Chain A
Amino acid sequence: MSKLKGYYLPKSLKSIEKEMEFSEKKVNDYSLLLPNINQDNIKEIVTGLKENRKKYLINMPFPEIAKIYGAVSRTWSDNNYEKKKIALELLPVLTNLSPELIEFYQFRSIYKIDEKTINFLSTLKLPPDVFKNFTPIDNANTFVRAYAGFRDKIALKKITQYNQELELVTYITPSNVPGFIESLGIFIASIVRASGLIKTPSVQPLFAPLYAESVAEQSKQIGETIAVVPWAGGDKSIEDVIFRNSNVVSVVSSTQTAISVKARVDELNKSGSSIKGCYHGGKFGIELIGREMANHDVAGLAAIDGIGYEGYMCGSPAFGFFVEEGGELSPLEFAEALAGEMEKISRSIPQTNFFRKLRDIKIGEIISRPEFDGGQKIFASSENNFAVIYESNFNLNPIGQNRLIRVFGVKNLEEVIGEMKPWKDYLQTAGVAIGNDRLKILSELMGKTGFSNIRVVGTVALPRLGEAWDGYYPVYEFFIPDSIHWTSINTIDFENEIKELTKIKNAVVKKGVFNPSLGIR
């Protein structure tokens, strides 16, 4: 049985391994070694990481960092890369997600961590106009808007992000989006020239160590500034050491975990620490289809959004798909078209039985309600790959996981956005298909309501360069107060973007997701 490390330590800290105890987790023909970290181990790790940062990273030029991560992404885009083969064999066992889904949504997001992305983030300076309206951002096909009070605006003006030295950034990562957040944590730590400590999710402690090893393959120096270890969340003896030594603690997890880490970070800050907490708890998304875009192409892209991470990504349209009446397709016809597209795409990005059964349970609950005696329609999959339910009366209930797609007909989208206000704290992404002429007015309304990510339909589960995140802004969130609410639109020209994305969707249907020539947007 081959052994795999469920952790990553820099070469210079390998001696700590001898002091650690391990348990083993069997996955297929592999045995995953998992360390049981104690307080002494973690002290040595954080001290070592900080020292290595001074030695190897603090003076490394940004273009070099960018080149290294660009090379890492290219190795992962090679279907024959050994680590990728292992990840695609074992992650489905650990997460129940199909390999095709992992490739399309997770790995293809990682491929975007390239020179362009890193150069953009490492020289980030948003124009002051972002406080007035949605403003296009240089070198990113993105609009950004910030909502803030007078003091926050001044604070932002004063910030030059690199005047504050960050020694250690800690990322606590989730299980619902396996891999992407871990890789994001590692590269973002590097571009603020901090060492990075990643806590893996217990469900899959596999991907982050593999990715960290890939980084070390490309750059021994950066490899010396990263550590990936599991520990029991909430263990004060471990976390107090980590938090006290971190300049930034970023939690991407359940709301409960985020609240509990925040409470501890606040306590430590009261007793003299200076830790910036970045909290990304549970969120829900929605899909809004304008009448001018209620067509077959958009239904295909909406299907891509519904399938992403089986609906468990915080941006996934769990509230459902809201379609304006009066378009080329009526909301009911749109639901039917969406079902047709789901069937086609599900053949290229299949669903596992695990999620099918979870959907069955939820469907049972929904369709046992009397309103299903009339006014509702179900579009079933002949292969039990999804279910599209059309409901004539709209309701807000975030239950659209496991490819349970709920479509609602609405008079206008503004009405839906207005109804979202009570959910403000849980809003993140809206997948949107509207004409360019409606974009700014509707986006302003959505930003004020609490959305942070306005994404063109088909990209809900595929984050892009330059976007906000949960109302914060990546990298900026390490330095500036949380009271600024950031909203982004991930493309400038919706109409053209929908055409380009449709080409990719068609290629997925035709040639699958492992096709090396499949475009990335």
Chain B
Amino acid sequence: MRIIVLGDFMFDTDLIEKLVSSENYFKKRKDVEKLRHKAIKMSHKYHYENNKFYHDYCKLKGLSGDIKSEDFHKIVIPDTVFKSYQMESPEKSPQEFKKWIDRISSVPIDFTPKGMGSLESFLQEFYSNGMLLGFSSGTSGKLTFLPRDPFTQSMLIRSYTEAIDATLKLDKGKERFILGIPKKTFLQVGFNGKVVANHISPGNVFHAFDELKADIIRLRMRGPRSSKEKVMNYFIKKMLPRLEKNAIRNIATKLEENQGKKVVFMGPPFLIIDTAKYILENGINAKIGADSFLASTGGFKGRSIVSRDKMNDLIEEAFGLDPKRYIDLYGMTESNSIMIDCTEGNTKHIPPWMEVILFDESMEPIPQEGKVTGNYAFLEPSSKSFPGFITTGDKLKVDYEGCPACNKTTPILLSIERLPRIESRGCSGVLAKTVAG
């Protein structure tokens, strides 16, 4: 058994690895629940003892390090915690920002950041010292940062790959990935796609974009704050549509090169649509192998929405792919996991290692039976460097009876709605707004 000792309590990595497994998609739900609850209790205790913020938060609610399953709804923390730092530009106040990270993180950070000019280089500094600060952004431009240590990063990759294993038949090491996301970025959605693809097929991953710097994303999301930023914004605004067009051309060329071959093409839905349209308008033969997969994530934030039916038609026409092999993914910056459409029923499955809690309008937890709709919170014990027990700004409809089309035993997602009180801040939204002219 591998045990990591940090506080007085140990984080049981074996328990987490046993839980984050594709096999659990098919096991008896009660058995998996038992394992999951054990892991949540362990993870809660670990964070209670190692995370200053979480400790105070639980104490304030009269909770201790030992938690009962029926009290799980009490330990969820608001997602706004991860953007509660007070400074406008973290890279300009590196010590202060580190203090904030220290407070919300459950693992010690043993280096002193210098703040090396840009936000991108500041994030790189953390990353080089073992701490990934993946981010997402709101329309206000205040970025959400999630501190992920190496173990949590490895669990993110594991959660993705185990979910994929349970859903798709991928030939590890041999798959060709074509990604409509940047090669280098700390934007969490881009980072996740990159590391997971590289884990599955190292060296076999094509990126349509080279780099998307955090500074550019922030500037585009919050608007310019100085005359220097105004000038930068002017040029970036001119440059980004060209960047998007280039990416579409690059993807089309790559797909053409892989005619008839198995590829996994993944990107935000607006980029998939625009690529399909480009291919059809230019008469390019980009009919990929029938065993290929197409995956989108993040919705259409900021762009006009295209219905699933229309997308299916476009995908079939442009890529020659059976729409059943087009899967949509639902994830969050704060989560290590994704919910993937099964190919049998095109319904998203909640991973067995995630406990989903829905709250009603009076903020009471809704019993986990049948089809229910409520404000979404999740408990994910695999995060070691921050408590993965989080309330979100999304409203979900979940069917706890599971999927009628496949043999997985997990609950399924029937609909996703962003609550109006929460600003639009999906990663895809960030990409859409950043690259839009």
Contacts and interface: CB of A to CB of B under 8 A. Distances in A.
B189 interface: no
Contacts of A360: 61, 78
B103 interface: yes
Interface stretch (A256-264, A361-369, A450-458, A481-489): A361-369
Contacts of A372: 52-53, 56, 103
Contacts of A41: none
Contacts of B80: 361, 364-365
Contact of B61 (A365, A368, A370, A384): A384
Contacts of B85: 369
B268 to A, nearest CB: 29
Contacts of A357: 359, 363
A369 B97 CA distance: 10
B392 to A, nearest CB: 11
Contacts of B361: 354
Contacts of B100: 368-370
B96 A370 contact: yes
B84 interface: yes
A367 B99 contact: no
B363 A353 contact: yes
Contacts of B363: 353-354, 356-358
B103 A373 contact: yes
A368 B85 CA distance: 8
A37 interface: no
Contact of A378 (B60, B102, B103): B60
B84 A380 contact: no
Contact of A96 (B52, B59, B362): B362
B362 A352 contact: yes
B364 A353 contact: yes
Given A96-B362, A352-B362, A361 B78 contact: yes
A172 interface: no
A189 interface: no
A113 B60 CA distance: 41
B56 A378 contact: yes
A364 B78 contact: yes
Given A352-B362, A384-B62, A370 B99 contact: yes
Contact of B81 (A354, A368, A387): A368
Given A353-B363, A361-B80, A373-B99, A368 B62 contact: no
A367 B53 CA distance: 6
Contacts of A369: 84-86, 100, 103
A380 B52 contact: no
Interface residues of A, number: 26
B391 A370 contact: no
Contact of A368 (B96, B104, B359, B362): B104
A324 B136 CA distance: 42
B57 A367 contact: yes
Contacts of B314: none
A381 interface: yes
A74 B36 CA distance: 58
Contacts of A437: none
A81 to B, nearest CB: 27
B155 interface: no
A11 to B, nearest CB: 37
Nearest to A354: B362
B77 interface: yes
Contacts of B86: 369
Contacts of A163: none
A378 B81 CA distance: 17
A271 interface: no
A59 interface: no
Contacts of B362: 96, 352-354
Contacts of B60: 363, 367, 378, 380, 387
Interface in B384-418: 391
Interface in A294-334: none
A382 interface: yes
B388 to A, nearest CB: 14
Contacts of A387: 60
A38 to B, nearest CB: 28
Interface string B89-107: 0000000100110111000
A381 B80 CA distance: 23
A163 B362 CA distance: 50
Interface centre among A366, A368, A369 (most CB of B within 10 A): A368
A383 interface: yes
A435 to B, nearest CB: 35
Nearest to A376: B56
Given A352-B362, A353-B363, A373-B103, A367 B78 contact: no
Interface of B: 52-53, 56-57, 59-62, 77-78, 80-81, 84-86, 96, 99-100, 102-104, 359, 361-364, 391
7 contacts: A354-B362, A357-B359, A357-B363, A364-B77, A364-B84, A367-B57, A387-B60
Interface of A: 96, 352-354, 356-358, 360-361, 363-370, 372-373, 378, 380-384, 387
Given A373-B99, A373-B103, A381-B62, 13 more contacts: A353-B363, A360-B61, A368-B57, A368-B103, A369-B84, A370-B100, A370-B103, A372-B52, A373-B102, A378-B59, A380-B60, A380-B61, A384-B62
Closest 4 CB pairs of A and B: A357-B363, A370-B99, A361-B78, A364-B78
